[in-house]
Amino acid sequence: MVQKSQLSTSVDEFLKDLSKAKVRKTFLFADLFNSTEYKFNRSDSEWVPTIGEFYRVAVEKFEERGGTVLKFLGDAVMAVFDDAGGAIQAAINLQEALEDKQRSESWSISCKIGVATGEAFEFRTTDNRADYLGVTVDLAARLCEFANGKAILLSSRTYNAANTEEIRSSAGHTLQRTTEQYFGQKRLESLKGIKDAVSYYALFWQASPTEGYLTTQAVTAPPQRERTAPVPVPAMAPATPLAPQRMRGTVARYIPDRGFGFITFNSADGKPEDIWFHKTAVIEDAPITVGAIAFFIPEREPGGKMRASSVVLVKSTLHGQILRYEKNRYGFLAAHDEAGNKVDFFFLPADLAEEVSAGEEVQFIAAENPRGLCAKSIQKLTSNDACLEIGSREQGVVDTLFEEKGYAFIFCKGTRLFAHVSELRDPERSLQEGEVVEFVVAPGRDGGYKAVTIEHVIEEAVTH
């Protein structure tokens, strides 16, 4: 009779009662970005110590936050945590440690991280170590695979299971970043091998929106081959936030003295419908004319009535920031709506007046193509207009106020900054349109800016 091996016995015990093997954990995968290219372009004596140091730092940072490293997988590390918040903080700590090495030791390699929380099956290996299998493990691996360098992608369950108020990065703490600014909007994307679309968050831990890879851009599909025919929007578009679909319509009526109007659009069944909008919903207070093409997001008011928000008028002149530019191919830039939400625009090299790079402030004409919004006649703002620096103290004018919502926009050096009343140094004061305020520039949502530590300036309001 052939005696069973220890591994076979272990498998039998695992399969005997799967209910006892089921546990709830948080799993983290950290993988070096572009490591294959890195190794092929260096000698063994150069890349082997780098990989080894990555392992060492990962183990150290994960164990500091209560994690256990399960295994090394080529150039990746898999770890398990009992606490979702501990896993998120460990991910930030690892990224910051690697960034320090890039600055002090001239490292040219970065790391991408995926984190997922949920049920998995725990079993014992031949050396009595715990290991895990299940869809939660697979999801963490897929999020890691989907990310770009320096990104931290979290499943929605991880976000919901963590005490996000305790999450912080060094840069975020210095800039007094809020929880919302760390995590931004929930996003939705299809991942390899997973039938249903997955919701997740991209964690913004860096100091500057233009530093390294943007986490909000760190979720792109694999690069595609060159196409011979022009395509309005390539398949490699940023993941779409979980938000209502942006609709297209025409301004059918506008009453200037009352500040509202109606947009006519085709509903899902192809029938024309009207939806009302207020002038404050139009991005950058663009001039409103009857017959103008409008892209908008339908919102339901508390009373049940539908209204149009985040209205972009085609042919209006807007300001934004370059998110990404693949030279001689295509790019994306973003403007911001009345609530500070990002609005993406696609562009081609022919739409540029001059070369641009990620993070630069631009002026452009809103246009449309068969797939949606695009940008034309893109020009960089002059140095006098685009000189806002994170952490700098500036003065600006409150140009749009949403008193009932508790926020406003401040116009400063050609840029509109989001400002919330909670950032006022004097809680007894309020913001008023046209007044001059002084503030500190901080990173806003999706590459924009916001004003923090806001103080009133005693002088006549300036015009703009």
User: In which band, very low, low, confident or very high, does the pLDDT at 42 lie, cut at 50, 70 and 90?
Assistant: confident
Quote the pLDDT of residue 139.
93
**Domain 247-313: which CATH number of 3.40.50.1370, 1.10.10.10, 2.30.110.10, 2.40.50.140:** 2.40.50.140
Structure tokens at 90: 């460990």
| Separation of alpha carbons 190 and 206, rounded Å | 26
Strands (E) across 138-245 are located at 152-155, 187-189, 198-202, 240-241
Whether the predicted pLDDT of 370 surpasses 80: no
Cα 260 from chain centroid (whole Å):
32
Q: Of 368, 396, 379, which is closest to residue 318 (Cα–Cα)? A: 379
pTM confidence score: 0.47
Tens-digit pLDDT profile for residues 134-191: 899 999 999 998 888 788 999 989 988 888 878 888 888 877 777 777 887 788 888 8
- Say which CATH superfamily domain 393-456 falls into: Nucleic acid-binding proteins (2.40.50.140)
Confirm if 224 and 235 have CB atoms less than 8 A apart: yes
Q: What percent of the chain has pLDDT over 70?
A: 82
- Residue-wise pLDDT for 380-398, tens only, equals 876 444 467 888 888 888 8
Tell me which residue of 246, 251, 247, 272 sits closest to 261, measured CA to CA.
251
- Cα–Cα distance, 418 to 454 (Å, whole number): 11
Q: Percentage of residues in the chain with pLDDT exceeding 90?
A: 27
Residue 156 burial (C-beta neighbours within 10 Å; 0-12, 13-18, 19+):
middle
CATH topology for 317-380? Answer: OB fold (Dihydrolipoamide Acetyltransferase, E2P) (2.40.50)
Among residues 324, 346, 321, 350, the alpha carbon closest in space to that of 335 is found at: 321
Q: What is the pLDDT of residue 6?
A: 56
The average pLDDT across 66-70 equals 93
Where, residue-wise, is CATH 2.40.50.140 in the chain? 247-313, 317-380, 393-456
- Say whether domain 13-217 belongs to CATH 3.30.70.1230: yes
| The pLDDT of residue 8 | 55
Contact present, 186 and 241 (Cβ < 8 Å): yes
The mean per-residue pLDDT over the stretch 64-76 comes to 90
Q: How many CA atoms lie within 13 A of 403 on its CB side?
A: 5
